[in-house]
Chains A and B, each alone.
Chain A
Amino acid sequence: MTVFICLDDNNGQMFNRRRQSRDRTVTEDILSTSRGHRLYISSYSKPLLDSVLQDENTAADITVDDAFPETAPENAFCFAEDIPMSKLIDKTDRLIIYRWNRVYPKDVSLDIKPEDSFKLTGCSEFKGYSHEKITREVYER
């Protein structure tokens, strides 16, 4: 399973039941990386991908399911915004982290240490639409 997550500089993910940030270039990168595979998202993430879900050519490739940590198959791609990573780690063989390179308020943080279970195999940076620099880290078993 490949899992996508977004983190701030303090490994934060959410505050007050809302994502800390968003950037359309990250969404596009997730879609292009998962092309040809089924992408699982929760209902919270659905509005971010509404335009894709409304397009009949692409909607079929996305499954909106709040229980995807249990239901998604091992070869699935999953975007985990409001799902604890600890629920997915056993099935995950690749973790892709997008770092905002910013500090936001947080009350939900990443609940695993990627270095403990994965090796950093790739790191790249790109300019986002609303973020100066986004770092994309790829961790693999």
Chain B
Amino acid sequence: MKKKILSMLVVLLALAMFFCCQTDFSEETTNTINVTTNDDYSIHDIVITDCPDTTDSITTNIIPDTEVITTEAFSTTTPVTTPITTPVTTEAVITSLDIKTQIPARAPSFTASDIPASNGSDAYAVINDNVPFFTQDELTVKAYEFYSELDSLGRCGYTVASVCKELMPTEERESIGSVKPSGWQTVKYDFVEGQYLYNRCHLIGFQLAGENANKKNLVTGTRYLNVQGMLPFENLVADYVKETGNHVMYRSTPIFEGDNLVCAGVLMEGYSVEDKGDGVEFCVFAYNIQPGVIINYATGESSQDETTTAADTGVQTYILNTNSKLIHYPSCSSVSSMSDKNKKEYTGTRDELIAQGYKACSKCKP
């Protein structure tokens, strides 16, 4: 009898060990999980990457990375939705390990009716006093990236990531020309930098998560949205993460009005987790506009706004020194002494050139 009980215990122990191994992801580096979340977004692909602690400065006031993520974490029920405030107090989350980390973070509480009116030139507007809509349970140092399925009109939904060094690209960017986002049109205007009105805009920038031709991450966006609206925030997050090794919760949500195929803009939210937003905190709406162009957001068709002048669009002709990366007015005395091989005429805006790394000449001060 004793032998029988003993052998049963051994079997039970072996079974327990087997199931533990099946649910322990802590040794894995990448998991792809299909998860059902809610009616709006039925099935999503989530890539979770275990992100080793890369900094000495991480305090204990964060959601521990050692928590094993199981499918229970992707509950279909509505979890705790305490919005973050400034300053954030995540202690409640830390001390209560029974509160599940919500991965992926949900879509933000922001709709087309919340979009502030555009003045036609500002690239972005601050939303909610720059406090992102993440809730306490959505802040995590577990690296992951999430892309919504396209909707029935082929439009992107929200994207979210816990950005860290491990998520960042290690290889060169590849071509994304094969993707035709909703509302895509190939159209040129002389006064648009690079002439093409539309870019395939990454919702989560390539420099943050290394996504190339992922159709769930690319929207039809103007050059202005891409360079003036979104890029500065991507740079801010990327350089902060590289410098500190910390994580930034980053959510990028295209906002479509009605059945429009081109989004009105992108809600961009960022929040640095380990330092509770001290390093990075923003919540802005980046407008999908191009000064001087009227856009039909239902179809993506466009036309030049005849009522605007070159001054309105900030467009004018400059002479560039491609070697020194300086911008000059054509009348600048430095232009005559410039080598022809370094000289380039450019018609566009000063901001576009600055975004390309050019600086204003200190003589003519364009």
Contact = CB atoms under 8 A, between A and B. Distances in A.
Interface in B109-160: 124, 126, 130
A100 B359 CA distance: 12
B250 interface: no
Nearest to A100: B239
A120 B236 contact: no
B243 A22 contact: yes
Interface string B332-364: 000000000000000000010011010100100
Nearest to B243: A130
Contacts of A87: none
B232 interface: yes
28 contacts: A9-B354, A9-B355, A9-B357, A10-B351, A15-B236, A15-B282, A16-B126, A16-B282, A18-B278, A18-B279, A18-B280, A18-B281, A20-B236, A21-B235, A21-B236, A21-B239, A22-B240, A23-B243, A24-B243, A100-B239, A102-B235, A103-B235, A104-B232, A104-B236, A105-B124, A105-B233, A115-B362, A129-B242
Contacts of A120: 362
Interface string B224-257: 0000000111011001101100000000000000
Q: Per DSSP, are chain A's interface residues mostly helix, strand or loop, or mixed? A: loop
A120 B130 CA distance: 37
Contacts of A105: 124, 232-233, 236, 282, 284
Contacts of A23: 239, 243
B243 A103 contact: no
A103 B232 contact: yes
A15 B239 CA distance: 14
Given A9-B355, A23-B239, 13 more contacts: A9-B354, A9-B357, A10-B351, A16-B282, A18-B281, A20-B236, A21-B240, A22-B240, A104-B235, A105-B233, A105-B282, A129-B242, A130-B242
Contacts of A47: 278
